[in-house]
């Protein structure tokens, strides 16, 4: 990275807001333990900084997707529990043990591999066991659950089950019947199995209420400021702010075009501002002629196509003194919420957060 103070674009990550969102989850889910889901580089916000902020807020249990993510997280939170959602394929077992990672076992075959490792080491190994209640993605399917319940003593030999978990498919919509279906299936499964702590809810599930929070909750999106359910106001604080700076401003006549393909045409004498952000920074091309940037809290529409490095705004209606060379334009943050950017981009907030590219430098601030 250069030593220059000038940065054309930056992603500011408010670590204080992540800590506050962790505490909000604690209030909503109490007395359940709140863990931190830091997979995918903490939803693009940077795993190391986010995990440290969460640990300082009292988080002592983390979830990652990949083994590699668990290995990277281990030195950052040396004493904490780290669950690996991908599970335990046989060739993952040695590294899981070496880095003291706890797999979320997804099948009888994975349970057998982990149990064999425990017997070989003549020690007990901790395990989470993921039960599929309707996602049909990861976790024990119904027939394997029945076998496990019938032969629990033998199948779980050498294992200490520290968590029974499942995952909701439709927690973003409290009216969806799938939520109660999965809750019922999870309760039925727990009643068949040896007692251990249980976890069903991610961010959306936390907002479904106390029936869903069990002993442990697994928020990701909410910690990073996302709105888990679109029908409700967002209880979480904004974490990410994406800004680019104005590189050029010009007055153009009626009937002029802007950008590749000349897809934008001025219907009046206009002022256009060219901003240093593009799809190579993670601002999606689908925003072409759809999204907005905000200057000093005022929205200006995107004029024409988003290109690799640049985006043009129609700033005709913004007071001229706010539109200065070098001024920062926000595309995500306090004015343009994550939801709004995701909707204009035609995707989910999860994909927006995990799309920011390395060219946009992350700035960590401790405040809210
Ligand atoms: C990603 C993930 C979470 C976190 O979900 P959010 O909707 O981001 O809160 C929780 N549990 C599992 C199994 C996941 O894959």
Give the pLDDT confidence of 173-228 residue by residue, as tens digits.
999 999 999 999 999 999 999 999 999 999 999 999 999 999 999 999 999 999 99
**For this structure, is 357 an active site residue?**
no
Testing ligand 1's pocket by substitution, the residue of 24, 37, 212 carrying the most ligand atoms inside 8 A of its CB is 37
Average pLDDT, the chain: 97
CATH architecture of 240-365: Beta Barrel (2.40)
d(CA 103, CA 87): 5
Largest distance between two CA atoms of the chain: 80
Q: Which of 237, 260, 350, 357 is flagged as catalytic?
A: 260
d(CA 55, CA 34): 11
DSSP string, 139-204: SB-HHHHHHHHHTHHHHTTTEEEEEEE---SSTT-TT-THHHHHHHHHHHHHHHS----EE---HH
One fold for both 31-224 and 240-365? no
Q: What is the pLDDT of residues 130-141, one digit of tens each?
A: 999 999 999 999
**pLDDT class of 1 with cuts at 50, 70, 90:** very low
Chain-centroid distance, C-alpha 330: 20
- What mean pLDDT comes out for the span 16-26? 98
Q: Which atom of ligand 1 is nearest to the CA of 85?
A: 13
Pairing relation of β-strands 240-252 and 257-258?
unpaired
Ligand 1 lined by 218 (C-beta under 6 Å):
yes
Testing ligand 1's pocket by substitution, the residue of 36, 85, 165 carrying the most ligand atoms inside 8 A of its CB is 85
- What mean pLDDT comes out for the span 357-364? 94
Q: Which of 39, 212, 279, 364 is flagged as catalytic?
A: 39
- What mean pLDDT comes out for the span 21-36? 98
Q: What is the pLDDT of residues 92-106, one digit of tens each?
A: 999 999 999 999 999
Token pair belonging to 341:
């950017």
Q: What is the pLDDT of residues 60-70, one digit of tens each?
A: 999 999 999 99
**pLDDT class of 368 with cuts at 50, 70, 90:** confident
Q: What is the pLDDT of residues 277-310, one digit of tens each?
A: 999 999 999 999 999 999 999 999 999 999 999 9
pLDDT at 314 over 90: yes
Hey, where are the domains in the chain? 31-224, 240-365
Ligand 1 lined by 105 (C-beta under 6 Å):
no
- What mean pLDDT comes out for the span 72-83? 98
- What mean pLDDT comes out for the span 341-357? 98
* This prediction's pTM: 0.96
pLDDT at 245 over 70: yes
d(CA 309, CA 143): 52
- CA 362 – ligand 1 centroid, Å: 23
d(CA 76, CA 52): 7
Q: Which atom of ligand 1 is nearest to the CA of 223?
A: 9
Collect contacts of 107-111 with beta carbons under 8 A, ≥24 apart: 107/140, 107/144, 108/140, 108/144, 108/147, 108/148, 108/155, 111/148, 111/155, 111/156, 111/159
- What mean pLDDT comes out for the span 6-29? 96
Testing ligand 1's pocket by substitution, the residue of 41, 129, 218 carrying the most ligand atoms inside 8 A of its CB is 218
**31-224 has CATH 3.20.20.10 classification:** yes
The pLDDT of residue 127 is: 98
Ligand 1 lined by 276 (C-beta under 6 Å):
no
CB-based contact 93:112 (threshold 8 Å): no
Query: 66 preceded by cis ω (within 30°)?
Result: no
Q: Which atom of ligand 1 is nearest to the CA of 224?
A: 8
């Amino acid at each position: 990275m250069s030593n220059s103070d000038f940065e054309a674009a930056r992603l500011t990550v408010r670590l204080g807001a992540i800590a506050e969102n962790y505490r909000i989850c604690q209030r909503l889910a109490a007395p359940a333990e709140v863990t931190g889901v830091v997979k995918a580089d903490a939803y693009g916000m940077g795993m190391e900084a986010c995990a440290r902020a969460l640990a300082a807020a009292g988080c002592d249990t983390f979830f990652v997707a990949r083994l590699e993510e668990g290995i990277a997280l281990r030195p950052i939170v040396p004493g904490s529990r780290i669950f690996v959602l991908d599970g335990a394929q046989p060739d993952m077992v040695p590294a899981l043990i070496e880095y003291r990672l706890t797999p979320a076992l997804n099948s009888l075959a994975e349970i057998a591999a982990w149990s064999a490792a425990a017997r070989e080491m003549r020690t007990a190994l901790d395990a989470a066991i993921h039960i599929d209640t309707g996602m049909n993605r990861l976790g024990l399917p119904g027939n394997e659950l029945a076998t496990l319940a019938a032969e629990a003593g033998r199948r779980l030999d050498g294992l200490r089950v520290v968590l029974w978990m499942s995952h909701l498919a439709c927690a973003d919509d409290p009216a969806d019947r799938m939520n109660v279906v999965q809750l019922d299936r999870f309760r039925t499964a727990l009643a068949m199995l040896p007692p251990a702590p249980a976890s069903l809810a991610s961010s959306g599930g936390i907002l479904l209420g106390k029936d869903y929070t069990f002993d442990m909750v697994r928020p990701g999106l909410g910690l990073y400021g996302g709105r888990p359910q679109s029908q409700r106001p967002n209880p979480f604080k904004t974490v990410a702010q994406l800004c680019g700076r104005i590189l050029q401003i010009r007055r153009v006549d009626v009937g002029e075009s802007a950008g590749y393909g000349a897809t934008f045409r001025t219907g009046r004498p206009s002022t256009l501002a060219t901003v240093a952000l593009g799809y190579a920074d993670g601002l999606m091309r689908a925003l072409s002629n759809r999204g907005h940037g905000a200057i000093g809290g005022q929205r200006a529409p995107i004029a024409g196509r988003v290109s690799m490095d640049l985006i043009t705004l129609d700033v005709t209606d913004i007071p001229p003194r706010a539109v200065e060379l070098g001024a920062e334009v926000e595309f995500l943050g306090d004015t343009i919420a994550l939801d709004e950017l995701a909707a204009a981009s035609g995707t989910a907030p999860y994909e927006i957060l995990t799309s920011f590219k390395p060219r946009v430098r992350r700035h960590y601030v401790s405040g809210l």
